[in-house]
Amino acid sequence: MHGVKKSDLPKKICPTCNRPFVWRKKWERDWDQVKYCSERCKRTRAGTARKCV
């Protein structure tokens, strides 16, 4: 067995849904810039910021 245990991976809290999410291989190069757990949360957060009516 090789690799890292899932419990040892870095975690962040999504500012949109306030849920924890864990590091993914596809985020390896830009983990520091990742803020949202999913595209849906990213779109939801961006959409609410633009509505100033």
**pLDDT, tens digit, 9 for 90 and up, residues 22-47:** 999 999 999 999 999 999 999 997 66
Does the pTM exceed 0.75?
Answer: no
**Sign of torsion, CA 48 31 10 23?**
positive
Calculate what percentage of the chain has a pLDDT beyond 70. 83
Q: DSSP class of residue 45? A: H
Residue 53: pLDDT over 60: no
Please determine, for residue 52, whether its predicted confidence score (pLDDT) is greater than 50: no
Q: Where residue 7 falls among pLDDT bands split at 50, 70, 90?
A: confident
pLDDT reading at 1 higher than 80:
no
Please state the domain extents for the chain: 10-25+32-50
What is the three-class DSSP state of 21?
strand
